[in-house]
Amino acid sequence: MTDRYRSFANSGVGRGLVKRLGLPQPAPLRRYTPGDPLVTGPVLLAGAGRAAGPARAVLTAAAVEVLPERGTAPTLAAIVYDATDLATPADLADVHAALHPAVRSLIPSGRVIVFSSPSESAPAAVATQQALEGFVRSLGKELGRGSTAQLVRVAPGAEGNLASTLRFLLSGRSAYVSGQVIDVGTGSAPIPADWNRPLAGRVALVTGAAGGIGAATARVLARDGAHVVCLDVPAAGDELAAVANGVSGEATQLDLTAADAAERICDLFAARHDGLDIVVHNAGVTRDRTLGRMGDAEWSQVIAVNLTAPERITQALLDEKLVRSGGRIIGVSSIAGLAGNRGQTNYAASKAGVIGLVRGWAPVLADRGITVNAVAPGVIDTAMTARMPPMLREAARRMNSLAQAGLPVDVAETIAWLAAPATGGVTGNVVRVCGQSLLGA
């Protein structure tokens, strides 16, 4: 779907007019293409906490030019600041001192990443570390030009698990992720032999794979090396087959609300693959209506597809021990599940429920080496958003820090990062792929 306003705002005539009128200026975003370098310029690494050394090792291994201080560098591709050692509010002056002179040197689509500590000790330390969240979320709304800011909370002992998350947030894969807080823990996170194919040898299930975010996810997982089983309803059979053939995967037609759906999925993976490694619950429906006008069918269908089916299918796969150790379960939620939305009590309830599944399963499955996370898309240009009234769609596109809608691939890249073996330290997280939406972000 073409964003005509974004095209106009970046044209020779439009750029000046938009600036004079104070209108949103959606910059072109740097998105990942295979073969791209991790970043396109030097990275400033500042701060002296416990994550600085491991972060430097990650950057050096990726052939990134690392600067210990801004010095005379005219431009910076990213700023990485380690604040894990800050313990008092007075220490926050160090954040200002390091970033104030450097942030103006960021190139378009630059990155700011701040490491913090999930401190549970003295109140002053807790307050100081929590202050970093407000700092990063505000900075993400200031940067402009397609740049993003993130906070990564690093558990003690988890410094060696930073590679996958740091690489994702620095790269074009995270183009539409900003203002997020990501927790990295001590789970097993093996480094892949090839960062371009981190999912090699993995078997994945993607529901709702015939189009939109599901189809993009199938393509990205396959690009990264996974064998993808694409699932959707029989009515979408032709589109599903095209996606599966395009990724050299498999197509399975199935109504997830059928009484035997979980059993049939278990039988498929037991017989053909002796299990699976990645489960992506993407299938979803909307039946929008205010609660007073919403019938039983409109309520029950949305809950059944969006929440009950993922719960039943995942539980069946776990009970049959078909999700292998090191497995990844990823649910597609929505910012509607976080902030609510008028006319979507059913949809918001179902998507909030997905977050509840993540929070419930993550600690239970940690001993099996299985991570559970969710992505929460904002306004993504899909066939669903194309049906929105034009003025409403245009307003929704601009109500985020990047002043534009995301693309299905933006959600898919985030799912692929969460699906990677090297992201084993990330579990129980809800990552919003919403350009730092002004609502619920």
CA 331 and chain centroid, separation: 11
Q: Which two tokens stand for residue 163?
A: 């590679």
Residue 266: partners with Cβ closer than 8 Å, 6 or more residues away: 316, 317, 320, 322
* The amino acid at 391: M
- Tell me the angle at which helices 237-246 and 212-223 cross, rounded to the nearest 10 degrees: 20
DSSP states along 264-298 = HHHHHHHHHTSSEEEEEE---------GGG--HHH
Q: If phi over 0 gives left and psi between -120 and 50 gives alpha, with beta otherwise, what is residue 25? A: beta
DSSP strand pairing (323-332 vs 371-377) = parallel
Q: Is 347 a catalytic residue?
A: yes
Q: Are the beta carbons of 402 and 174 closer than 8 angstroms?
A: no
Beta-strand runs (E) in 20-134: 43-46, 66-67, 76-82, 106-116
Counting Cβ atoms within 10 Å, is residue 33 exposed (0-12), middle (13-18) or buried (19+)? exposed
* Rounded Cα gap, residues 270 and 250, in angstroms: 15
Query: Considering 5, 32, 176, 347, which one is annotated as catalytic?
Result: 347
Counting Cβ atoms within 10 Å, is residue 382 exposed (0-12), middle (13-18) or buried (19+)? buried
Length of the chain: 441
Handedness of CA 202, 330, 144, 396 (dihedral sign): positive
Radius of gyration for the chain, computed over Cα atoms and rounded to the nearest angstrom:
22
DSSP strand pairing (106-116 vs 76-82) = parallel
DSSP strand pairing (276-281 vs 250-253) = unpaired
Q: Are the beta carbons of 185 and 427 closer than 8 angstroms?
A: yes
In 3D space, the residue among 328, 312, 321, 313 whose CA is nearest the CA of residue 427 turns out to be: 328
Which residue numbers are catalytic?
347
